[in-house]
Amino acid sequence: MKRLLILSLILLSNKASAQRTVCTVTLNSEHERSLFKRKYEKENLKFVELTDFKNGLKDPNDWFDNACKSGVKCDSLIISGHFGGTFFGEDTSLTLSLKTLEKKACSRTCEGILSQPKEVYLFGCNTLADKKADRRTPAEYRRILQDDGIAEGYMNRIVAARYSPVGESFKTTMRKVFAGVPQIYGFDSVGPSGKTVSSFLNSYLNKIPNYAERLNQLEAAKVVSQIEKTGKIGTQFSGPWNSSMKGTAYASCVGATPGPRKECGLSDDKKSDFEKLLTVESLLNDGNRKNHFLAIEEFFKDKDLSRLSSDERQVLERIHNNKQASQELLSLLPQLNSVLETKFPLVNLAQTLGWMDEKSAKDEYFKTVSLSLKKGLNGDTIGSLCYINNPPIFSESQIKPEWFNNTKFLTVLGCWQNNKAQMLPPHYVTNITKHLNSKDADTTTSALKILSPNLKADPALQRNVAKLLYSEDLNIAAAAMSALASIRNPDAETISLIAKGLLSPNPAEQKRSAYTIMNMKIQNPDLKRRALEIDPSIKP
């Protein structure tokens, strides 16, 4: 304490006249920035709005990278926006993702903004959330993220960060992003909106009459913490925040102790794949390996393992033989039925690393789908099931015929075909083909999309689809045209069904027939000629 007092006096005397910089990132509400500026307008403070670094850029979304390169050094950082793994606003296309912050922190290319501050304010929901229970279910939170436009591929890590035993919490990640920052403030659940936060924030700022002096004191505390290597600042600085924010889901913490982090190796563009594989091996040998499973799955997602060098294959073999890591991952799967967007990537990782064979993975998917159907498929569950990137084909003995009568299950099958189009076995085709004559147009179009990969090798199916060219429902007709376009060398009966539209008294049916003939590249000069007579603009 005596050392802190001495350092504080030294810093206060040296910094008394120095101008402090308060950086703001305003993506939604301006209330927070305005309240700070109005309260301390007479102090020697410089306010810098970091989103202004978008000006003059070809791509405005490069604003944060530009701000990092500018050399600005923030004594305080205030971020205001909605948060769901990404900071964003309702009236701007600008965003700031946690993934971007992590990468900048790992590469240490933005220290003036991420490491220099004495305190950081994160005004947004869940910015400092840990894994404790929340009033929303994982499925409800996922739907909120979808509505907010969060990318599908990033959504699973966000939901996992908030709800599952896998992955780091937002709080842990924020502490690492702002390593060395004495104080970080935020919310561990739903945060107050910009208008609502005003009274709380006014109360807080009234307890800090001199902000420049507070920053000097925080800097002194930061120096002591670094000297003693404790990472402890004490509660004297968070006390005003905690007392003023009562009635909200307020939270505060200290930035992590600065230092190298192994997981940063996965996003280091300067490292080779061999070095990154060594990083994966090291992370999987770590006691906190479950925090890194999703990042590792993401690393392997686009890797062609057949093209690995001999050295890389040796590392992969050692990873494959890591029994402790494989057992921990597999033991987590039964715990993740309420967070399927976490479970499915782990199944995928287990297959990639040879910790789970194809049959075991299929059985795991089957159990999950069976349970979901038993409970009743809703929009949230469908969205989660749609996230399976390597969809299973269930055997005839596994799958129940009544599943195919569930239109919501057909929606899931449609998602799976979009993720990875594959030929379906006869028991699938037989049951789904029945829906081509459904009275519900959406069901018919779903069935068409699901069956498309099978059309090339199934003349009977081709004929069923060709009949739908003349449906009164334009969406069904369009889906049939799209499905037929992939066929080459159809049989004579299919060609006859498609060509009959050329003689229809209905101009719309004539055009559908003509376009389909040209799209399928049917090698019949007479049909080509007649198609072009109907619409000369069609390119042969």
Residues 6+ apart with CB under 8 A from 43: 20, 210, 211, 212
Tokens 């159990």 sit at which residue?
367
Is 47:212 a contact under the CB 8 Å cutoff? no
Residues 6+ apart with CB under 8 A from 389: 301, 344, 348, 419, 420
Q: What is the mean pLDDT of residues 115-119?
A: 95
pLDDT digits (tens, 9 = 90+) for 226-271: 666 555 555 668 889 999 999 898 999 999 988 889 999 998 889 9
In a 3-state reduction of DSSP, which class is residue 97?
strand
pLDDT band for position 79 (cuts 50, 70, 90): very high
Instruction: State the Cα–Cα distance between residues 129 and 442, nearest whole angstrom.
Output: 40
What is the phi-psi region of residue 96: left when phi exceeds 0, alpha when psi lies from -120 to 50, beta otherwise? beta
Tally the C-alpha atoms within 13 A of residue 76's C-alpha that lie toward its C-beta.
Answer: 21
pLDDT band for position 156 (cuts 50, 70, 90): low
Beta bridge partners of residue 95, listed in sequence order: 88
- Is the pLDDT at 464 greater than 60? The verdict is yes
Please give the full DSSP string across 110-135, using - where no structure is assigned: -HHHHTS-SEEEEESTTTT--SS--S
Q: What is the pLDDT of residue 434?
A: 94
SS3 content of the chain, % helix, strand, coil (to 5): 60, 10, 35
How large a percentage of the chain has pLDDT more than 90?
62
Q: What is the mean pLDDT of residues 20-43?
A: 93
Q: What is the pLDDT of residue 1?
A: 47
Distances (CA, A) of 354 to 29, 513, 516: 48, 49, 45
Q: What is the pLDDT of residue 335?
A: 86
Instruction: State the Cα–Cα distance between residues 200 and 248, nearest whole angstrom.
Output: 9
- Is the pLDDT at 78 greater than 90? The verdict is yes
Q: What is the pLDDT of residue 412?
A: 94
> Over the chain, what is the mean pLDDT?
88
Tokens 């530009």 sit at which residue?
66
Q: What is the pLDDT of residue 149?
A: 65
25 φ, ψ (degrees, to nearest 5): -125, 100
Give CA torsion, residues 335, 340, 346, 349, to 10 deg. 160
- Is the pLDDT at 152 greater than 60? The verdict is no
Q: What is the mean pLDDT of residues 426-449?
A: 94
Q: What is the pLDDT of residue 539?
A: 65
Beta bridge partners of residue 88, listed in sequence order: 82, 95
Distances (CA, A) of 511 to 76, 142, 516: 65, 43, 8
Q: What is the pLDDT of residue 227?
A: 61
Instruction: State the Cα–Cα distance between residues 347 and 350, nearest whole angstrom.
Output: 5
pLDDT digits (tens, 9 = 90+) for 526-537: 999 999 999 888
Beta bridge partners of residue 82, listed in sequence order: 88
pLDDT digits (tens, 9 = 90+) for 280-318: 999 999 999 999 998 999 899 888 999 999 999 999 999
Per DSSP, 353 falls in state: T
- Is the pLDDT at 162 greater than 80? The verdict is no
